[in-house]
C-alpha cells in the first residue's frame, strides 16, 4: 500500500526520486501515464497488468468506444524502472501535461502513486479535504 506525500525536485534530465519506502514494491518496474485531475499516475507493473486485463475482457463498451479508450490509455503509458539511485525518468510529455517543471510531489494513493506539480497538488489537496469533510459529516448525520 502506498501512502503519504513526499516533496522532491526533478533533475535536469527529468528524473524524480522514488520515496525509499516504496522502492522495494517497484523493483519489477512501473508504468507512468496521464492521470485524471492533471497529475501523472505511476502503477506497479502488476497493477498495470490488472488494468490491461480489465480493458481486454470488458465487452460492455461498443467497439469504437473501446478503441478510443485503449488509445487514450496505452498511447500515453510509459514503462520505466527505478534506477540504481532510486529515481524514475519521467517523459517530457507527461511532465508538460502535469505542469511539472522543478518541484514535484509524489503522493501514495493506495495501489499506485501520483506525481503532481507542487502548486497543483496544494490546490487539489485543499479541494479534496473540503469535500472529504463534507462526506464525513453527511455520513455521521445518517
pLDDT at 131 over 80: no
Looking at residue 87, which CATH number applies to its domain? 3.40.1550.20
Closest by alpha carbon to 118, among 21, 16, 29?
A: 16
Domain range for residue 94? 5-140
C-alpha 19/C-alpha 12 separation (Å) is: 19
Q: Percentage helix, strand, coil, to 5, in the chain?
A: 45, 25, 30
Check residue 43 and give its pLDDT: 98
C-alpha distances (whole Å) from 108 to each of 54, 105, 116, 124 are 23, 10, 11, 14
Closest by alpha carbon to 99, among 86, 83, 113, 118?
A: 118
What cell does 118 get? 507542487
**DSSP 8-state code for residue 15:** E
Q: Which of 2-16, 24-38, 47-61, 124-138 has the lowest mean pLDDT?
A: 124-138
C-alpha 134/C-alpha 142 separation (Å) is: 13
Check residue 125 and give its pLDDT: 87
Check residue 7 and give its pLDDT: 97
Indicate the pLDDT class of residue 76, thresholds 50, 70 and 90: very high
Indicate the pLDDT class of residue 140, thresholds 50, 70 and 90: confident
Percent of the chain with pLDDT over 70: 98
Closest by alpha carbon to 120, among 135, 139, 101?
A: 101
Task: Count the domains in the chain.
Answer: 1
C-alpha 71/C-alpha 73 separation (Å) is: 5
pLDDT at 58 over 80: no
Amino acid at each position: 500500500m502506498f501512502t503519504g506525500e513526499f516533496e522532491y525536485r526533478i533533475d535536469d534530465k527529468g528524473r524524480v526520486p522514488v520515496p525509499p519506502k516504496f522502492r522495494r514494491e517497484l523493483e519489477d518496474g512501473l508504468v507512468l501515464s496521464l492521470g485524471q485531475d492533471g497529475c501523472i499516475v505511476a502503477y506497479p507493473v502488476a497493477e498495470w497488468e490488472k488494468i490491461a486485463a480489465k480493458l481486454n475482457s470488458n465487452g460492455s463498451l461498443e467497439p469504437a468506444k473501446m478503441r478510443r479508450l485503449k488509445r487514450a490509455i496505452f498511447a500515453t503509458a510509459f514503462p520505466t524502472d527505478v534506477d540504481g539511485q532510486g529515481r524514475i525518468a519521467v517523459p517530457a510529455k507527461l511532465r508538460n501535461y502535469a505542469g511539472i517543471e522543478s518541484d514535484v510531489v509524489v503522493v501514495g494513493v493506495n495501489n499506485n502513486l501520483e506525481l503532481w506539480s507542487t502548486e497543483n497538488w496544494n490546490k487539489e489537496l485543499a479541494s479534496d479535504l473540503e469535500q472529504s469533510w463534507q462526506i464525513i459529516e453527511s455520513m455521521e448525520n445518517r
